[in-house]
Amino acid sequence: MEEHNEKIRVTDRRIRFDEENMEEKAGAESEARKIERKKAAEDYKKASAEEENAFPRMDFSTFVLSLSSSALAHLGEVPDPSNGRTEENLPMARHTIDLLVMLEEKTRGNLTREEERLLKDFLFEVRMKYVQKAG
């Protein structure tokens, strides 16, 4: 058997990154992203302040009231705001009640007394109405 004495040359063509430069670049990107987010938030505030808004100011209580109203509409207790008709949709009512329950669990310990009381009261009310309708 004949031997071949050929030299094999291996060239590493992978891109090499300097770790210091990578950290610096990541820091610059995150700083640029922070500035971009801050500007977007400021632009949103400015735009929403300029337009007339028929909706109430959004806070936790308004959010709970909105979900509770949706649950009551699905239970057929109040007219649906989109069409003015009173219709029962028990699966959607249960879904909305489950959202309120999740909200209660996830915000436990982070609400004011008033917010906590509001959420508990509405949950009690919509649960009782659901039991009456479903039972």
Q: Are 95 and 109 in contact (CB under 8 A)?
A: no
CB 109 within 8 A of CB 99: no
Residue 35: predicted pLDDT: 84
Question: What's the pLDDT score for residue 3?
Answer: 62
For residue 44, give both structure tokens. Answer: 């949103």
**Mean pLDDT across the stretch 31-45?**
79
Domain ranges of the chain: 19-54, 60-134
pLDDT in tens, 44-101: 777 766 666 666 678 899 999 999 999 999 999 988 777 888 889 999 999 999 999 9
Please give the model's pTM, rounded to 2 decimal places.
Answer: 0.59
